[in-house]
Chains A and B, each alone.
Chain A
Amino acid sequence: MAVLVESHPTLTEAQRALGSDGTYLGGGTLVMRDVNAGTVQGRILRSSDPALRQIRASLDSVEIGAGVTMAMILAERDLAHLHPVARAVGGPQIRVMATVGGNLFAAHPYGDLTTALLALGARIVTAGGAQRPIEDFLRDRERAGLVAAVQAPRPREPRAFGFLKVSRVKPKGVSVLSIAAHLPRDGGRLRGVRIAFGAMGPTPLRAQAAERILEGATLEPGVIARAAAAAAEGLDPPTDALASAWYRREVAGVHLRRLLERMT
């Protein structure tokens, strides 16, 4: 079967035209491989909507168009907290193509940026303008429709947000696991703690047991140790070519501890 590429001026039109048989093309780092392998065929839809490439920052939040690439994030001063994350996605050739929207849909072990967005408590804006929390979106992303943008709070201070990626190949290997932590502080105590793990389940997942331990606490060695011990609770790591489920579980807490220590 041949491949037919349709270009739509707005994302809404692309959404309308998508149907059940169309495939949306973001930067194509994943889709094009499937096209080449023949596993994606038929209608390929893209959108030239300029809104998709916009980054809008306010004092306490940012809205990032779904078509923004990792390289664009890296060029944006207002997104400094996401620079370490964007830089961790693939090599330079991937980063100039890979989009935020595509990362939200990328299957295991990909989704490093999504892990960060989950920790930040981002909201997903879909083509019609509807918004929903990112964890709701991740629960049924296959049926989510097209994504227009993500909105995410900006950490109030640099040490309130941290990201760590473990990969076997440096500097641009894919994740054995990744961790993002958002630790807003309120007079020394942590309030609104969100910890997310990538490559530890079918989608990025929150480490809720660890979050509960940290919530309301101060970031001190005893607390960190307890959070680390609970890190893998509720996670569902797979076995793959990079690491076994056992290994991922075993080191999840070690790496969470190291990240939290960095953030004290």
Chain B
Amino acid sequence: MSATDQPMIDFRKQYFADERDDNLNEIGKPTRRQDITGHVTGRSPFYDDHLFEGLLHMRCARSPHHAARIRRIDTAAAERMPGVVRVLTGRDVPRNLNTLLSLLDFGIDDEPLLSTDRVRYRGEPVAAVIATSEARARDAVAAIRVEWEPLPHVLDVEEAVKPGAPVVLDIYPTNKFAYHGRYDHQKLRFGDVEAAFRQADMVIEGRYQMSPIEQAPMETCGAIAAPEQNGRYVCHTSTQALFFSLATAAKTLETPSSRLHFIGGTVGGGFGGKVDSIHEPLAVLGAMLTGRPVKFMWDREEEMQVGAPRGAERWYLKDGVMRDGRIVARSFTGYFDSGAYTRLSSYAIIKGVGHLPGPYTIPNVSADVYCVYTNRTPATAMRGFGITGVDFAIEAHMDKVAEAVGMNPIELRILNAYRDGDMKAHRRIAKNCALIECCQVVAEKAGVKLSPAMLAAASTRDGGGERARLPTHTATDEKGRVQGFQASSYAKKGARPPAPPGAPALPHAPAARPAQPGAAQPAPAAAPPSVPPSAPTAPRAGAMRFSSLSGFRRR
């Protein structure tokens, strides 16, 4: 069948029909979107459509260096320029250290909103001008004088993890995030890959590089904040996560969240780049300090070069394969390029590791995945976060395996596909699988002939049983042990990191929570009981909590 004969879209209702009730009133209907008329006529209000009298504009002065010490920031000339209302530096930020994931008890605050002593990537903000027009803000930014002392920098992930590489963040002296306070990488160990490689008919290796990518929303990131009544501040924002943004503002500004009124919801594309923005706290801070509405919005160049991209990833894959195409072992070494700060990369790795070895049942799997700091724009979420890069590696690798064993690439997938009831490498049983059926449908559409066995395969059949068993032996190791981190959570530094020189002391808001006797001691090997602790652990200034305390975690 030629391509043009095929429908552009079809629904294969015959698959899994017995698992579905198709007689519903609204579900399954191609109902027109509630907001579509507004969108296509240009009338839907986005954050930047909210008009305020006397609106001020904020723009940042940024580092021209990949890494440098800041000797001095001189804002005097900028402050005297026409239209300039105020120039902010890190000293104006009540709690000038942040990482989004610390709201989830996951990771150490490591990133200033405005750097005071050191910059770690080109484009890092060190001051923010607030002026009566964007043009005036730009002019004043150009008038800010910073004395830089350039420092050695490192841009490549594998260079960064070599001994003696320039240290990006002092709290991670080997340029690697610390997982669970235990290791400098996230491990996955299921069975014994080394033993299986020795027994495999062939071993196939590959190296894959995923590029950094811009989320490229039509609407660039931004926020407008303005004083509201009763000591409150309203903030119109492009955020993808209203309460993440609200909590980040409450935390970094040390303001009760009840004083913040965040409005968003209609956003011009996000693709992950608007999850951990700091436009909101800076705009609200501007409104607090000037008493006027303040807009902080990136232009396209900022969106592309200082807006956090999808981070680059480098993957090494090694498969042990039998001549008949069965993959008996697969190992991964991965390096996520987190850039200069953690943002969400540490989390993406856990998500990625839980996804390995891809949608296949492989009896021996291992992975060492590193969250690596380099002197580049910090990476953040993007569509398929934690998965897109490794899926590229896995599926490009599968093609090599298919060639090596002389098999049709679609049949190789079906042969190794996971099925209902199979044990996955993260030690949970697979259910609700449908990989095989997707492969079969595409083969049919493309006129690729599958063998009768492959045509007869189904996700609901031939899984489980032997395939549901945990490996009798799993090879574990202590490689990459780290010291000085609390073991109770993903990354808790035992000691407070040194305060940046010149930074105001923040005794009530430590960057890393010191150990609380009886509360945050290293967790016992066994799972903590799933009961809420009777007393809250360390109280937090201003910040709210979104997710579970360590004690809420389940196994």
Q: Direct A–B touching in the complex (beta carbon < 8 Å)?
A: yes
Listed in ascending order, the chain A residues whose CB lies under 8 Å from chain B are 1-3, 37-38, 41
Judge if B142 is at the interface, Cβ distance under 8 Å: yes
**Which residues of B have CB within 8 Å of A41?**
139
Task: Give how many B residues have a beta carbon under 8 Å from the other chain's beta carbons.
Answer: 6
Judge if B259 is at the interface, Cβ distance under 8 Å: no
Q: Report how many A-B pairs have Cβ atoms within 8 Å.
A: 11
In the assembly, what is the distance between CA of A197 and CA of B238, in Å?
44
- Residues of B101-151 contacting chain A, CB below 8 A: 135, 138-139, 142
**Measured between C-beta atoms, what is the minimum distance from B345 to chain A in Å?**
25
**Measured between C-beta atoms, what is the minimum distance from A243 to chain B in Å?**
16
**Measured between C-beta atoms, what is the minimum distance from A5 to chain B in Å?**
14
In the assembly, what is the distance between CA of A110 and CA of B142, in Å?
28
Listed in ascending order, the chain B residues whose CB lies under 8 Å from chain A are 135, 138-139, 142, 299, 301
Majority SS of interface residues in chain B? helix
What are 11 of the A-B contact pairs (CB < 8 Å)?
Answer: A1-B139, A2-B135, A3-B135, A37-B138, A37-B299, A37-B301, A38-B135, A38-B138, A38-B139, A38-B142, A41-B139
In the assembly, what is the distance between CA of A189 and CA of B301, in Å?
51
In the assembly, what is the distance between CA of A38 and CA of B81, in Å?
15
In the assembly, what is the distance between CA of A41 and CA of B133, in Å?
14
Quick one: closest A residue to B133, CB to CB? A2
**Which residues of B have CB within 8 Å of A1?**
139
In the assembly, what is the distance between CA of A234 and CA of B139, in Å?
41
**Which residues of A have CB within 8 Å of B138?**
37-38
**Which residues of B have CB within 8 Å of A3?**
135
In the assembly, what is the distance between CA of A2 and CA of B301, in Å?
22
Quick one: closest B residue to A35, CB to CB? B135
**Measured between C-beta atoms, what is the minimum distance from A59 to chain B in Å?**
47
**Which residues of A have CB within 8 Å of B139?**
1, 38, 41
In the assembly, what is the distance between CA of A1 and CA of B142, in Å?
12
Quick one: closest A residue to B142, CB to CB? A38
**Which residues of A have CB within 8 Å of B142?**
38
**Measured between C-beta atoms, what is the minimum distance from A98 to chain B in Å?**
19
**Measured between C-beta atoms, what is the minimum distance from A30 to chain B in Å?**
15
In the assembly, what is the distance between CA of A2 and CA of B81, in Å?
12
In the assembly, what is the distance between CA of A41 and CA of B139, in Å?
10
**Measured between C-beta atoms, what is the minimum distance from B262 to chain A in Å?**
29
**Measured between C-beta atoms, what is the minimum distance from A16 to chain B in Å?**
28
In the assembly, what is the distance between CA of A1 and CA of B139, in Å?
7
**Measured between C-beta atoms, what is the minimum distance from A111 to chain B in Å?**
22
**Which residues of B have CB within 8 Å of A38?**
135, 138-139, 142
**Measured between C-beta atoms, what is the minimum distance from B298 to chain A in Å?**
13
In the assembly, what is the distance between CA of A3 and CA of B139, in Å?
12
**Measured between C-beta atoms, what is the minimum distance from B449 to chain A in Å?**
34
**Measured between C-beta atoms, what is the minimum distance from B130 to chain A in Å?**
16
Quick one: closest B residue to A1, CB to CB? B139
In the A-B complex, the 7 residue pairs with the smallest Cβ-Cβ separation, listed nearest first, are: A38-B138, A38-B135, A38-B139, A1-B139, A37-B138, A38-B142, A37-B299
In the assembly, what is the distance between CA of A193 and CA of B517, in Å?
86
